[in-house]
Amino acid sequence: GATLIAALLAQHRFADALAEARELVAHHPDEPVYRAILGEAALEAGDGATPRTMFTPVRGQRGALALAPRGGRRLE
């Protein structure tokens, strides 16, 4: 799940991380942290549209510890 995606991102295996993140969100579409993880993986993989659609619904929850760094990276 999320740990595997984090490891793939750390290894710069962005396409693999993106595929895993899409699978995670497919199984848990309403989990804000997973949507943010997918947005982060998509951002790293060069997908410009997915991060916007993943981060927009969680914008009001930016203060959440798991969401804040990912939202900040998107704004970067």
Among the listed residues 39, 31, 47, 48, the one whose alpha carbon sits nearest the alpha carbon of residue 73: 39
Per the prediction, the chain carries an average pLDDT of: 80
Q: Is the pLDDT of residue 7 over 60?
A: yes
Mean pLDDT computed over 11-20: 96
Mean pLDDT computed over 47-75: 61
Q: How confident is the model at residue 50 (pLDDT cuts 50, 70, 90)?
A: confident
Q: How confident is the model at residue 31 (pLDDT cuts 50, 70, 90)?
A: confident
The backbone region for 12, taken as left when phi is positive above 0, alpha when psi lies in -120 to 50, beta otherwise, is: left
Among the listed residues 34, 26, 12, 46, the one whose alpha carbon sits nearest the alpha carbon of residue 55: 34
For residue 67, give the DSSP letter.
T
